[in-house]
Amino acid sequence: MFSVQTYTERRNALKRSLGSGLVLILGNEESPMNYHDNTYRYRQDSNFLYFFGISHAGLSAIIDIDSGEEIIFGHEFTMDDIIWIGPQPTLAEQARKVGVYRTETPEKLPERLKKASKVHFTPPYRYDNMFKLSEWLNIPVAGLKENASVELIKAIVALRSIKTDEEIVQMENAVNITREMHITAMQLTKAGKKEYEIAAAIHAKALEGGGDLSYPIIFSINGQTLHNHYHGNTMTEGRLVINDSGAENAMFYAGDITRTIPVSKKFTEKQKEIYTIVLKMELAGIAALKPDIQYKKIHLLTNKILLEGLRDLGLLQGNIDEMLAEGVQGLFMPHGLGHAIGLDVHDMEDLGENYVGYREGLERSTQLGLKSLRLAKELEAGNVLTVEPGIYFIPELIDKWKAENKFTNFVNYSKLDAYRDFGGVRIEDNCLVTPTGCKVLGNPIPKTVEEVEALRG
């Protein structure tokens, strides 16, 4: 946990930003997996963690800006609880550690909300919290999203988007645990093994780091499928494996790293060619990071390198800027270059992707690839984000575009046939925008062809 001052200052900054009203921050409940007492791994809400720090189920908190009161609502543990889960600090003791000096039972919360002239709440993403809000505020569940406080959303985004030095320490820790996960995967990957054997070792490293995973592991020879959580394939010589996995550290900050590994000890020449283009895209993207530059521009800059690289290989032909404008690159990289990261792996996405990554006057594109760009706006010092370009050969998408005669002037479809079983390459790092440029977080993780092959011994 951070210091009392940290949490107090965060709440004070929120109060200054909003000016008036009552802020309601709902913590998360336990979430049943198949019956009430068999629950998923508990994860506290990130806004609750940010302002109130306590990772326990069943808590809510208010900040009454007009009266200055801050209250955490929750039950004290009973003797029955203690028999099953062991001795616990009292709620009042926990609240004091985050600078809150008043606690109440949850039953007191609804009446408090009824008395408030304005209740600011964030869009709920869990059904139990939707039901609570609906009942307390007398708003139909379907209307909760539109009644969420835009002022609160914007105030939280402004605060959480700028990471403090003590947060960066935590994020570097998360990346360094993630680094172990990736090095382990590079060392253990071998033809004949099942993907789940490596996924298990990756997960073990996350647990050894004192936390857990920050999102479900993607470890697959079918890297062309972007979010592939199936781990049942046998790895075979000559294939590539994409490993997109990250740790959430003990303070709940996320790492999100991707590396691409040859199942054989060395990359083939063909794999090296594509890998080298993706690496060039990633390094150019990182080198371009600095305050005030639009992240959408960096996305397009890396797309341009993709187009040039594939043109040099004979897979594309024609004018690069024309291809870029028309969106030919979507065939090979149908996702965005990156996203904000922090307490959430896609940071603050519960508040709405567009509030985090866009601004008024900067609309989201509908083009394949760009439409999935979660972060497009101008960067600021203190932002932490991912840079994660990729090149994929998705047979179904290639077939569809070919059948539609799409971009036949640019795409050499007959040459693409030789890549139908290629899979994909993605390389991802987590970067802090600094006043003068950027810093890649954590100790370096093997990334060049030579560095990756050296671990494949």
Of 178-186, 232-240, 250-258, 301-309, the window that binds Mn ion (rule: CB under 5 A) is 250-258
User: Using CB under 5 A, which residues numbered 208 to 247 contact Mn ion?
Assistant: none
Choose, by CB under 5 A, the member of 180, 248, 256, 350 that binds Mn ion: 256
Phi, then psi, of 351 in degrees rounded to 5: -80, -10
Of 11-19, 120-128, 145-153, 382-390, the window that binds Mn ion (rule: CB under 5 A) is 382-390
By C-alpha distance, which of 286, 346, 350, 415 is closest to 129? 350
Q: Are 447 and 427 in contact (CB under 8 A)?
A: yes
Q: Which is nearer to Mn ion, 56 or 182 (CB)?
A: 182
Q: Which is nearer to Mn ion, 10 or 374 (CB)?
A: 374
**Type of residue at 359:** R
- Alpha-carbon distance of 332 to 199, in angstroms, equals 26
DSSP per residue, 196-252: HHHHHHHHHHHHHTTSEESS--EEES-TTSTT-----PBP-TT-EEEEEE-EE-TT-
Q: Is 70 in the site for Mn ion (CB under 5 A)?
A: no
Other CB atoms closer than 10 Å to residue 29's CB: what's the count?
17
Sheet (strand 384-387) strand order: 384-387, 429-433, 438-440
CB of residue 173 vs Mn ion: minimum separation in angstroms? 18
CB of residue 220 vs Mn ion: minimum separation in angstroms? 15
- Alpha-carbon distance of 368 to 331, in angstroms, equals 8
Question: Quick one: residue 167, left, alpha or beta (phi over 0 = left, psi -120 to 50 = alpha)?
Answer: alpha
- Alpha-carbon distance of 455 to 446, in angstroms, equals 8
User: Using CB under 5 A, which residues numbered 102 to 161 contact Mn ion?
Assistant: none
Q: Which is nearer to Mn ion, 94 or 386 (CB)?
A: 386
Of 63-71, 76-84, 96-104, 252-260, the window that binds Mn ion (rule: CB under 5 A) is 252-260
CB of residue 399 vs Mn ion: minimum separation in angstroms? 27
Q: Is 282 in the site for Mn ion (CB under 5 A)?
A: no
CB of residue 217 vs Mn ion: minimum separation in angstroms? 13
CB of residue 250 vs Mn ion: minimum separation in angstroms? 21
* Angle value at C-alpha 316, between 314 and 321, nearest 5 degrees: 130
The separation between CA 289 and the C-alpha centre of its own chain, rounded to angstroms, equals 18
Choose, by CB under 5 A, the member of 7, 386, 429, 455 that binds Mn ion: 386
Of 127-135, 140-148, 194-202, 385-393, the window that binds Mn ion (rule: CB under 5 A) is 385-393
Q: Which is nearer to Mn ion, 257 or 398 (CB)?
A: 257
Of 63-71, 154-162, 255-263, 323-331, the window that binds Mn ion (rule: CB under 5 A) is 255-263
CB of residue 42 vs Mn ion: minimum separation in angstroms? 23
Residues lying near Mn ion in the complex (CB under 5 A): 256, 386
